[in-house]
Amino acid sequence: MNLLNVENLQVEIGRGPNSVKAVRGVSFSLAEGEFRALVGESGSGKSITGLSLLDLLPSKSVRRADRFQLENLALPNQHHGQWRKLRGNRLAMIFQNPMTALDPTQKVGWQIAEPLCIHRGLSRRQAWQRAIELMERLAITDAEKRAHRYPFEFSGGMLQRVMIAMAIACEPQILIADEPTTALDVGVQQEVLGLLNELRESRGTAILFITHDLGVVAKIADSVSVMYAGQVVEQGPVETFFTGSTTKELHPYSKALLAAVPDLSGGKPLQGIAGQPPDLRRPPSGCGFAARCSQRMEICDQAPELFHDANGDHRCWRWHEAFQTYLSQQGQVRGAQHD
Ligand SMILES: Nc1ncnc2c1ncn2[C@@H]1O[C@H](COP(=O)(O)OP(=O)(O)O)[C@@H](O)[C@H]1O
Ligand SMILES: [Mg+2]
């Protein structure tokens, strides 16, 4: 069963002609226990997509969707009260930058404990105890002592772990993790991933994992959504992208992303792809990737819709029925490599 269904999500930041069309029609679902990776170059709208799911967008943003369904609860487009009750409780986020999530004036132990009092009705003592347990699980040594400290007394990696403890304290149904391991050393990264994996296995937590690390995606994700210029350009089960990707056809952008990673197992960060993504203040009317695409066709001046096949969704004219027919007439087998 799906815990979350999002259809045609749109986010515009700012007003007037220079507003940023940061998210331009994103649809996806999260099933119980699903680990969905959200990948794409910097600026493609991943963080804004994540933040919009918690109603934490920058001020002067407008968010619209045809559907925002959390289990049986249909969420309204711009009603902040209802989202506030869900945040930290049924929906939680691990932010890219811990300082945006933590209150500099509060002891970290209390910041982890507070949502447990508010949403779970624990006493302050019980919640404090639970906070220390969570800190210990995240390998924060001297947790009892450290719980009394303030954020500025922690290193970056340590703060990241405090924030993860905060996010998972109430065992949310849906956890959005925005590049949560980027600042951590490899050992701690592994621990954090193990913990997230355990959460989804034991509690059925659905995880939307925003990352640059395709190695992690290949290892742990069930499904992948690839974002480009505010849109999902391709999504499907993880096998679509990693196993047999030499026989399955991929969106030219996904191909370029994968080609930019020299060694998946090494967890190397994305290398650049030639050219620039479009300016999201003035998104192109056609395919946003066309200007950088080696397989560009005339029709790419028009915006492709999201086409579906057995491997997932693909926003590229190559999946249009007419193009498929053309390919088969040329004697090319569907799924063959074109370059
Ligand atoms: N607070 C903000 N004000 C204005 N524009 C923003 C703000 N935050 C993000 N953006 C813009 O929204 C777009 C998507 O950004 P973001 O979601 O942060 O990308 P990603 O997380 O994929 O790197 C970018 O063009 C970015 O410049
Ligand atoms: Mg981001």
Segments making up each domain of the chain, as ranges? 1-90+172-270, 98-168
> Beta strand pairing status for 67-70 and 2-13?
antiparallel
Tell me the best of 10, 12, 13, 26 to mutate to test the pocket of ligand 1, counting ligand atoms within 8 Å of each CB and taking the most. 13
pLDDT of residue 334: 47
Using the mean position of ligand 2's atoms as its centre, give its distance from the Cα of residue 211 in Å.
8
Q: Which of 49, 47, 2, 62 is nearest to 29 (CA)?
A: 2
Residue nearest to atom 17 of ligand 1 (CA): 45
Domain 1-90+172-270 is of which CATH architecture? 3-Layer(aba) Sandwich (3.40)
**Three-state secondary structure call for residue 143:** helix
Using the mean position of ligand 1's atoms as its centre, give its distance from the Cα of residue 58 in Å.
9
Residue nearest to atom 12 of ligand 1 (CA): 22
pLDDT of residue 248: 72
How many CB atoms are closer than 10 A to CB 308? 11
**Three-state secondary structure call for residue 199:** helix
pLDDT of residue 228: 96
Per-residue pLDDT of the chain (339 residues; tens, 9 = 90+): 899 999 999 999 999 999 999 999 999 999 999 999 999 999 999 999 999 999 999 999 999 999 999 998 999 887 888 888 898 889 999 988 787 789 999 999 999 999 999 989 999 999 999 999 999 988 899 999 999 999 999 988 888 889 989 999 999 999 999 988 777 778 778 888 888 998 899 989 999 999 988 888 989 999 999 999 999 999 999 999 987 555 578 999 999 888 877 665 555 555 568 889 999 999 999 999 999 998 999 999 999 999 999 899 999 999 998 887 877 777 654 444 444
List pocket residues of ligand 1, CB cut-off 6 Å: 13, 20, 22, 40, 42-48, 58, 280
Using the mean position of ligand 2's atoms as its centre, give its distance from the Cα of residue 248 in Å.
29
Inter-axis angle of helices 156-168 and 186-203, nearest 10 = 0
> Given the CA of residue 23, which atom of ligand 1 is nearest to it?
14
Calculate the CA 284 to chain-centre distance: 24
H-helix or E-strand spanning residue 201: helix 186-203
pLDDT of residue 339: 43
Token pair belonging to 281: 């203040």
Terminal-to-terminal C-alpha distance of the chain: 39
Token pair belonging to 249: 């056809």
pLDDT of residue 211: 92
Q: Which of 16, 26, 19, 5 is nearest to 229 (CA)?
A: 26
Long-range contacts of 139-142 (CB under 8 A, 24+ apart): 139/188, 139/191, 140/165
Q: Write out the residues surrounding ion ligand 2, Cβ under 5 A.
A: 47
Using the mean position of ligand 1's atoms as its centre, give its distance from the Cα of residue 182 in Å.
18
pLDDT of residue 331: 63
Residue nearest to atom 20 of ligand 1 (CA): 43
> Given the CA of residue 14, which atom of ligand 1 is nearest to it?
4
φ/ψ (deg, to 5) at 60: 65, 25
Using the mean position of ligand 2's atoms as its centre, give its distance from the Cα of residue 130 in Å.
30
Q: Which of 47, 131, 53 is nearest to 91 (CA)?
A: 53
Using the mean position of ligand 1's atoms as its centre, give its distance from the Cα of residue 22 in Å.
6
Tell me the best of 47, 60, 96 to mutate to test the pocket of ligand 1, counting ligand atoms within 8 Å of each CB and taking the most. 47
> Beta strand pairing status for 174-178 and 91-94?
parallel
Residues 6+ apart with CB under 8 A from 7: 27, 65, 66, 67
Residues 6+ apart with CB under 8 A from 127: 113, 114, 116, 117, 120
Residue 262 exposed, middle or buried by CB count within 10 Å (0-12, 13-18, 19+): exposed
Token pair belonging to 302: 């028009």
